[in-house]
Amino acid sequence: MRTIRVETSAATILLTEAPEPKVRDRQTGEIAKDAVSGEALMTLGVVYIEEGESSLIKVTVPESGVSEGLALGAPVSLPGLIARPWESVFNGQQRHGIAFRAAAVTPAAFPATVGATA
């Protein structure tokens, strides 16, 4: 399926859920791995704010891309953020959504506001 690059330069992204291992199989507890590198994957929650609109999203990152110094409620950067539409059938029901993936999650600074004075 096609991936769509997400431009984040005009957005404020705040960490709402700390990174934790992404579970591939809930029954066995198997951790999801990157199909190419075999590296363990992590998921985290963020609020993505842009032009007065906000969305809560889950983002997957490789374990090596999780930086030190992340704090809940603090701004983060998601370099290489992409969106990938998905769909599947589970128990006879069609499901669909958008999966988000980034190369890393790093601490960031709050963007400067227009007209702010130092």
Bridge partners (DSSP) listed for residue 30? 25
Low-confidence residues in the chain, pLDDT < 50: 116, 118
Q: Is the Cα torsion angle 51, 56, 57, 58 positive or negative in sign?
A: positive
DSSP notation for 27-94: TTTEEPB-TTT--BEEEEEEEEEETTEEEEEEEEEEGGGB-TT--TTSBEE-TT-EEEEEEEEETTEE
Tokens representing 101?
Answer: 């993936």
β-bridge partners, 50: 53
What is the pTM assigned to this prediction? Answer: 0.85
Q: Are strands 82-90 and 41-50 parallel, antiparallel or unpaired?
A: unpaired
Specify the pLDDT at position 110: 77
Residue 69 β-bridge partners: none
Structure confidence at residue 26 (pLDDT): 84
What's residue 84's pLDDT?
95
What is the rounded CA–CA span in Å between residue 63 and residue 84?
A: 20
d(CA 101, CA 62) in angstroms, rounded, equals 9
